[in-house]
Chain A
Amino acid sequence: MARMTMIEAIRDAHTVAMERDDDVVVLGEDVGYFGGVFRCTAGLQKRFGVERCFDTPISELGIVGTAIGMAAYGLKPVAEIQFADYMYPGYDQIVSEAARLRYRSAGEFTCPLVIRMPTGGGIFGAQTHSQSPEALFTHVAGLKTVVPSNPRDAKGLLLAAIADPDPVIFLEPKRLYNGPFDGHFDRPSVPWSKHPAGEVETDYFEVPLGKAAVVREGSAATLITYGTMVHVALAAVEESGEDIEVIDLRTLLPLDLDTITASVGKTGRCIVLHEATLTSGYGAEIVALVQRDCFYSLEAPVLRVAGWDTPYPHAQEWDYFPGPDRVKRAIATVLEG
């Protein structure tokens, strides 16, 4: 075991995967020589050579498209899109090619590709550096979508994603890279070294895709979330003094519906929380499934707390961001209902 930040854990997952399997290659803007703008790939080029960890021009379509070709013929590319907000030029290749290759070829060709992207806000990135586009991926049959919330999960999930035979979109909440962030922007930040999930196995291990984690047990209501919002949820629950169960989905697709229905079946009340904008967000999917599978257990309408349906603003970020106060309001409402 070793103490790691989320950046170090992701870097370690790359290192372990590249040591185990010569077919794993790493590509993206500034990932090689420079080691990644967030340092997630620092040292890889030095250690594994420029053939296995290499820089690309600023060409997202080209990055994704060439990685698909590599994956279709025996390699296991791990491509970095520098910010999730930059993936749109490559989105066509993700949707039309990566997601569809297996189906289209009746299983003859596959696309074991991982595309990593830092996601989410809380860093004053404004419109083009703060978005949470997960629903654009979960909406596409053929893709798996993962969002870790801590260093240990990040390493284990990334290794599972690299081992997976299908394309995986790996969204890294950039606000969590250096420490858990609970939405209290005005308090000193806590480093991962002081958090239990900053303790990470140093060798190979997987956190299986499609398995949620109950990060806090409770009986009064279920709060379902992922990524940065796991920490916001935990803070809000502590401050509310209520006995709320908190579920960290970890993988959005495949979804661990059993953990969700077991919890809501027990508590009878449910809130879904995400940073992404509300309308047609991933939370809508959870709400639909909960009402179908837990209908007779529900004692109150299922609520959503999410980003407002506006572009991500430069000013007033802390009002826009669904922080602990908004979550606490929803907790009060769902318990009343």
Chain B
Amino acid sequence: MATRKTTKKPNVSAEELLSYYRDMLLIRRFEEKAGQLYGMGLIGGFCHLYIGQEAVVVGLEAATKDGDKRVTSYRDHGHMLACGMDPNGVMAELTGREGGYSKGKGGSMHMFSKEKHFYGGHGIVGAQVPIGAGLAFSDKYKGNDNVTFTYFGDGAANQGQVAETYNMAQLWDLPVVFVIENNQYAMGTSVKRATKSPDFWERGAAYGIAGEAVDGMDVLAVKEAGEKAVAHCRAGKGPYILEVMTYRYRGHSMSDPAKYRTREEVQKMREERDPIEQVRGLLLTGDHATEDQLKEIDKEIKTIVNASADFAKESPEPALDELWTDIYAAEIPQEVN
């Protein structure tokens, strides 16, 4: 597979590298904390961690401008942090508190931010894909040059609505980047057990959609590919498919017996391909930063993440009345039994 990688010595500033390092580390530490809160019983139900995939959203966010939109699946914490949403509001949604982005009513999988043009967290696999095309339609209709990043997984790529959306997006030349986060598993099903056409980006060709695969553990490669995709969309050339080859270190959700892959496979990824370690290496070997500087960043992030956990514990549960708001614009009187 012709997966884009950064091969030559990257032409990138210390500042830029440091910001990727910081953003990826924030996601990782936030997710680790969420895992801890889950273990303590403060988060209930479903919680899908993004650990291992950080370079995908951080690289692509680096290719966006203000006004660009994003929409994704239930594995959404990283996307929200990367587009600048407040860690406190995200963590408090996980714990189901009033201070959460959806006032505790949505939970881990269902959060939104108009300010950051984040159109959700969607719990139904594949549901966000046509929605992303519709967002792009609106931008096109309004005559601006915004682009919508529509993220979905390798499992979701087999949903029927993805095929319908590809056709419509290309038919209507919509400025949407379809980002397939190929982490090689859909729950316990590996890509090869779900399809005989495992190069997902190539499916676009059937609809005339351009695309490519990119090494999703390499934040610089992701950013470069993102810039190319965005340029394609902004130039009015229609949709673009980016298949980002990545890996999730943790289980699918919090209860995952992980019998479908070996520990060695996970260990190898972590040791050899980790996106944060790669940037850390570039920073240190390129004399862009010192160990002490990086330690300082670690500390800053720890403070942010701990604060979000405190906020998420202290924020009260929403009042019962809150369950009845936001169903319709104007409340319809209903029977409480």
Contacts and interface: CB of A to CB of B under 8 A. Distances in A.
- Consensus secondary structure, chain A interface: loop
Nearest to B318: A315
B335 interface: yes
Q: How large is the interface on B (under 10, 10 to 19, 20 to 34, 35 or more residues)?
A: 35 or more
Contact of A29 (B93, B189, B260, B324): B189
A49 interface: no
Interface in B318-334: 318, 320, 322-324, 327, 334
B110 A33 contact: no
Given A314-B96, A315-B96, A305 B109 contact: no
Interface in B139-166: 155-156, 158-161
A29 B44 CA distance: 24
Contacts of A313: 104-105, 323
B206 interface: no
Interface stretch (A68-76, A118-126, A196-204): A118-126
Contact of B188 (A34, A57, A59): A34
Nearest to A327: B337
Contacts of A326: 337
B236 interface: no
Given A33-B189, A33-B260, A88-B124, A125 B46 contact: yes
Contact of A308 (B105, B109, B334): B334
B125 A86 contact: yes
B158 A58 contact: yes
B188 A126 contact: no
B194 interface: yes
B19 interface: no
A58 B159 contact: yes
B195 interface: yes
B45 A123 contact: yes
A322 interface: yes
A58 B45 contact: no
Nearest to A59: B158
A242 interface: no
Contacts of A279: 334
Contacts of B45: 123-126, 129, 314
Contacts of B323: 308, 310, 313, 315-316, 319-320
Nearest to B336: A308
A147 interface: no
B114 interface: no
In this complex, the member of B104, B125, B189, B337 whose beta carbon has the largest number of chain A beta carbons within 10 angstroms is: B337
A309 B158 CA distance: 33
B317 interface: yes
B6 to A, nearest CB: 32
Contact of A309 (B74, B159, B334): B334
Contact of A57 (B194, B336, B337): B194
A155 interface: no
A305 B337 contact: yes
B186 interface: yes
Interface in A310-333: 310-311, 313-316, 319-320, 322, 326, 330
B315 to A, nearest CB: 11
A89 B163 CA distance: 13
Interface in B80-107: 93, 96-97, 102-107
Contacts of A125: 45-46
Nearest to B325: A310
Given A89-B159, A311-B327, A58 B46 contact: no
B259 interface: yes
Nearest to A65: B160
B337 A126 contact: no
Interface string B181-195: 000001111000111
Interface string A108-143: 000000000000000111111100000000000000
A123 to B, nearest CB: 6
A306 B334 CA distance: 13
A23 interface: no
A2 B327 CA distance: 47
A57 B158 contact: yes
Query: 8 tightest A-B contacts by CB?
Result: A124-B45, A314-B107, A128-B123, A315-B104, A34-B188, A124-B44, A57-B158, A315-B96
Interface of B: 44-46, 74, 93, 96-97, 102-110, 123-126, 155-156, 158-161, 186-189, 193-195, 259-260, 317-318, 320, 322-324, 327, 334-337
Given A30-B189, A316-B323, 18 more contacts: A33-B260, A34-B189, A57-B155, A58-B156, A59-B159, A59-B160, A88-B124, A124-B44, A124-B46, A129-B46, A314-B102, A315-B96, A315-B105, A316-B317, A316-B318, A316-B322, A319-B320, A319-B323
